Structures are given as C-alpha cells and as structure tokens.
Amino acid sequence: MKEVYPITIAQVTDMHLFASEQEQLLGMPTTESFNAVIECLKKMRDELDLLLLTGDLSGDSTSQSYGNLQNLLSPLFLPSYWLPGNHDDSIVMDEVLNLGLVSRRKCFERGGWNFILLDSSIAGKVHGYLRHETLEWLDSQLAMTADKPTVIALHHPPFKINSRWLDNSSLQNSEDFFAVLDKYPQVRLVLFGHIHQEFCIQRNGVDYLGTPSTCVQFQPQSKKFALDQKSPGFRLMKLYPNGTWESWVERVPYFHAVELTANGY
C-alpha cells in the first residue's frame, strides 16, 4: 500500500518587528522573541515545507523592519509567503519582501493543497475588511481549483472571540466572506492572526484557527485590554493529499516581563 506523506507548514504571525532591533512592544523586545521562534524552526527545518506569515509582520511599517524580517528568515531556507495586517504597509512589503525564498504570491499549490492569502487590512484602521475586489478574486480562484483541498489565510478573525476589546477590531464583513466560502466545499481551513492567542471554531465543515503571536500574548476572553503570561508561539500543520489535516500550537522557551498597558498597540 502506497504511503501518503503530508506537507508540513508553520504559520508565524504578529511579529511586530521594528526598524531598530532594540525597540519593544509593550515591554517585549520583538526581535529577540522572534529569534527564539526562528531557533525553534531551525531545529525542525528538515520537517518543514513552507512558512505562512499572517500579518503584523512590522510594528512600524518601515522598509527596514521588513528588511530585518527578510534577514531573520534567510537562515531557514524555506519558501515563505506573507500577507499584511493592520500594522503593515502592503506597498512597502511588496517592494521589500520579494527576495530569495520570500514570495509575494497570494495563490499557490503545494502537496496537493491550494493556498489563498487575502489582504483584510484597511489603511489607518485596526479592524479588518475584505474589499469587493478581493472577494471577487477569492471566488474566481476557488472556482478554478475545485479539485484541491484549500487553505485560506487572512489577518483578521472572521469570528468574535468573546473578548470585547479585540472583537471591535475583527473582520467587519464576515458574512460576505462566508457567502463565498459556502459555495466551495474544498475549503478545509481558514487561518488568521491578530488576536495574539490560540483559537479554534468550526462553521459549515470549515475549521477556523487563530494563532499566538511571536511576541506578546493577549488574555483570552478579556473585556478590556489584558496580557497573558504564556510564551510566544506559532502553529504547525500537517496537510495530507486526501484533504485531511492535523494542527497544533508550539510555544518557545522564552520569557520577558511585559507592560500591562496598551500604550503603543
């Protein structure tokens, strides 16, 4: 009997890197915490097929911050695909994050799976929104790849997560998004960041997974801004050609005292 091998991908999100590698977010040195994640990924390098970077890669939207990211990723020698978050500048990202194995492609196929990356960011806003043009493009891509199980990634959660302050900045037109997805049974997974915590929910046979940040973590189910003491993390997924999958969150052994106010976020 032929053995079926999965592809293994890592979702890495909400790094909040800055032009200065010494700069901090809420007291967390984000370059240092991201380096801890990179070191963990290096150890499993031979098991990984690609990286998905799901937004808020920068904390200051500067070309230098994206250059820093490019340099930090290079020792992994892994194909890496990105999408913007509310703290990013997609124009600057396009200019910088397109060298070597870092790609700005937003639709690609690996291991019998199709991957579609969406931009839910709105300039000057914290919340997310999928433009009409984006939804039309998503519809057309799904129509062309009906024979392949599909992963969709975006930055903002299309669900409320029972955390009042974060729910104000979720995807604002989730029903429009769902109306497209409901037409295509090949969609198996939707991945997102933004919430700096682990989260999962299922809707119409599709699993929606939120992933911890590589820097500060937000307290689940909090009415007001609150930080969690959990360490930085990322998500691993094994995707099988028959459309089945496994996923779990990895945490890295890194701790740094953080501030308890939302200043700077």
User: What DSSP line would sit under 140-175, residue for residue?
Assistant: HHHHHTTTS-EEEE-SS-SS--S-HHHHTTSBTTHH
Distance CA 44, CA 56 (A): 24
Which stretch of 1-5, 16-20, 31-35, 53-57 has the lowest confidence by average pLDDT? 1-5
Which CATH number covers residue 13?
3.60.21.10
Domain count, the chain: 1
In angstroms, what CA-CA distances link 175 with 35, 169, 216?
Answer: 37, 15, 30
Structure-token match 């939120």, residue found: 210
Please report which confidence band the pLDDT of residue 261 belongs to, taking 50, 70 and 90 as the band edges: low
Answer whether residue 162 is part of any domain. Answer: yes
- Residue 257 belongs to a domain: no
- Residue 129 included in any domain: yes
What CA–CA distances, in Å, run from 52 to 31, 80, 117, 124, 132? Answer: 18, 6, 9, 24, 24
Residues 116-137: tens digit of each pLDDT: 999 999 999 999 999 999 999 9
Q: Is residue 220 part of a domain?
A: yes
Domain annotation covers residue 265: no
Count the alpha carbons within 13 Å of 195 in the hemisphere toward its beta carbon.
30
Q: Would 184 be classed as within a structural domain?
A: yes
117-126, 166-175, 181-190, 256-265: which range is least confident on average? 256-265
Domain presence at residue 176: yes
Higher pLDDT, 22 or 68: 68
Tell me, what's the pLDDT at 135? 98
* Residue 255, pLDDT score: 80
- 57 burial (CB, 10 Å; 0-12 / 13-18 / 19+) is buried
Domain that holds residue 208: 7-251
Residue 34: CB atoms within 10 A of its CB come to 28
Q: CB-based burial of residue 190 (10 Å sphere; 0-12 exposed, 13-18 middle, 19+ buried)?
A: buried
Q: Answer yes or no: is 247 within a domain.
A: yes
pLDDT, tens digit, for every residue of 198-244? 999 999 999 999 999 999 999 999 999 989 989 999 999 999 999 99
Give the pLDDT confidence of 75-116 residue by residue, as tens digits.
999 999 999 999 999 999 999 999 999 999 999 999 999 999
